[in-house]
Amino acid sequence: MDLSFTPEEEAFREEVRAFFRDKLPARLSTLVREGKRLRKSDMEEWHAILNERGWLANHWPEQWGGPGWSVIQRFIFDNESALAHAPRVVPFGVNMLGPVLIKYGSEEQKKQWLPRILDGSDWWCQGYSEPGAGSDLAGLKTTAVRKGDVYVVNGQKTWTTLGQHADMIFCLVRTDPTAKKQEGISFLLIDMKSPGIEVRPITLIDGEQEVNEVFFTDVEVPVANLVGEENMGWTYAKYLLTYERTNIAGVGFSIASFERLKEVAQMQKKGGRALADDPLFAARMARVEIDLANMQTTNLRVLAAVAGGGAPGAESSMLKIKGTEIRQEITSLTRRAYGSYAAPYIPEALEAGWNGEDVGPEDAAMAAPSYFNNRKLSIFGGSNEIQKNIISKAILGL
């Protein structure tokens, strides 16, 4: 197994770097580097730039607007994107729904929805989780009852990320309450402007409104918005989750934030010397660096297997666990490195152009919110405990 990049792949890396140099607006990379709040318009602006180059949906087939990249090219692109402090692509349309429609949607659905994901006409959100149906997702209770040409949907979704911006939501709904729980689920595309939908914000521990509750009362959804077959939604849901988990690992993000941590640890002093030279702190940093190097190799190993015709299975769970543990440890160490400067958590400091009193190094005000916000990583996309169950089952053959 050869894990080094070929000359062609190195040339591709240069092409990607040049693109970020020329096309990534400095305003956006500064917001990302400083951990500031990105608005809907910022994310849309970056999507449009990527789409113009044909690089937005970089894992879609060329027929539907993808660039035809190999898995290794995608890995290079994602890493370079993080190192350039580019905004992350909002995953719900491009990374989650897109692959499901391409594999399971009808031709009409592909023609209707895929171009609208690319050109930003529709902002999608994910309606999987419900109160009482997170880890036990197949226990979901939102119902869809067919009446003529429509399904009538009743129930509630929760933790709906960025649902406050969404035009559309893809939902798992129960269409057969009498079937075994995994077998009575369908995958529906629902217009967020439909009468009977109410979105209520949930405020997170960092004070941000990133997630929502979405309530459905007698919402009518055209039958044409059913993806694939009725009661087969669980198959499509699982397919989507493998994509979601591999994306959450975020190796490039960890590399970029670890570089920043090293700078901060050099800058901050403890007992008259750089924090980076403090044996206890240095040991924790070394642990992260080793884990990150291992993680990169594992990621490449999985990609090499995929390039050779294999499919990621439990490996996506492994990447999700390790990747998120590393990201959380980096934000924890960064907060510690800033010490008391990270203590006054000022929500306004997340706004672009915030010009508050200078109480410490440039991005110290972001260390606490970033630490708090990143606790979510081990919960969403299927909690890390659930990923360990998946790995155990794969090993024990259960």
Element (H, E) at 256: helix 251-267
Q: Is 29 in the site for ligand FAD (CB under 6 A)?
A: no
CB 233 within 8 A of CB 171: no
Residue closest to ligand FAD when measured from CB atoms: 134
CB 209 within 8 A of CB 200: no
CB 212 to ligand FAD: min, Å: 9
Query: Of residues 274, 379, 391, 394, which one binds ligand FAD by CB under 6 A?
Result: 379
Looking at 80, 130, 210, 244, which residue is catalytic?
Answer: 244
Q: Is 382 in the site for ligand FAD (CB under 6 A)?
A: yes
CB 352 within 8 A of CB 37: yes
Q: Is the Cβ of residue 125 or residue 276 nearer to ligand FAD in the bound state?
A: 125
Query: Of residues 95, 142, 160, 299, which one binds ligand FAD by CB under 6 A?
Result: 160
Q: Is 244 known to be catalytic?
A: yes
Instruction: For residue 14, give every residue at least 6 positions away whose Cβ sits within 8 Å of its Cβ, in sequence order, or none.
Output: none
* From 120-128, 175-183, 218-226, 257-265, span contacting ligand FAD (CB under 6 A): 120-128
* From 158-166, 227-235, 254-262, 338-346, span contacting ligand FAD (CB under 6 A): 158-166
Q: Is the Cβ of residue 304 or residue 379 nearer to ligand FAD in the bound state?
A: 379
Element (H, E) at 394: helix 384-396
Sign of the alpha-carbon torsion through 90, 99, 125, 332: negative
Q: What CA–CA distance (Å, rounded) separates 262 from 285?
A: 8
Query: Of residues 20, 361, 389, 394, which one binds ligand FAD by CB under 6 A?
Result: 389
CB 66 within 8 A of CB 191: no
Q: Is the Cβ of residue 45 or residue 213 nearer to ligand FAD in the bound state?
A: 213
SS3 366: helix
Element (H, E) at 143: strand 143-147
User: For residue 186, what are the β-bridge partners?
Assistant: 173
Q: Is 91 in the site for ligand FAD (CB under 6 A)?
A: no
Q: Is 385 in the site for ligand FAD (CB under 6 A)?
A: yes
CB 157 to ligand FAD: min, Å: 6
Tokens at 326, concatenated: 């590393």
Residues in the chain: 398
Q: Is 126 in the site for ligand FAD (CB under 6 A)?
A: yes
Q: What CA–CA distance (Å, rounded) separates 31 from 353?
A: 9
CB 205 to ligand FAD: min, Å: 10
175: left (phi over 0), alpha (psi -120 to 50) or beta: alpha
Residues 132-151, interacting with ligand FAD (CB under 6 A): 134-135
DSSP states along 14-50: HHHHHHHHHHS-HHHHHHHHTTPPPPHHHHHHHHHHH
* From 123-131, 246-254, 320-328, 362-370, span contacting ligand FAD (CB under 6 A): 123-131
Q: Is the Cβ of residue 62 or residue 385 nearer to ligand FAD in the bound state?
A: 385
Query: Of residues 57, 211, 275, 368, which one binds ligand FAD by CB under 6 A?
Result: 211
CB 134 to ligand FAD: min, Å: 2
Q: What CA–CA distance (Å, rounded) separates 288 from 282?
A: 10
CB 49 to ligand FAD: min, Å: 24
Burial of 325 (0-12, 13-18, 19+ CB in 10 A): middle
CB 376 to ligand FAD: min, Å: 4
- The letter for the amino acid at 205 is I
Q: Is the Cβ of residue 58 or residue 142 nearer to ligand FAD in the bound state?
A: 142
CB 216 within 8 A of CB 197: yes
Q: Is 128 in the site for ligand FAD (CB under 6 A)?
A: yes
* From 189-197, 272-280, 311-319, 377-385, span contacting ligand FAD (CB under 6 A): 377-385
Q: Is the Cβ of residue 16 or residue 211 nearer to ligand FAD in the bound state?
A: 211
CB 370 to ligand FAD: min, Å: 14
CB 45 within 8 A of CB 25: yes
Main-chain phi, psi angles of 383, to 5 degrees: -60, 160
CB 378 to ligand FAD: min, Å: 8
Binding footprint of ligand FAD on the chain (CB under 6 A)? 126-129, 134-135, 159-161, 211, 376, 379-380, 382-383, 385-386, 389
| Residues identified as active-site | 244
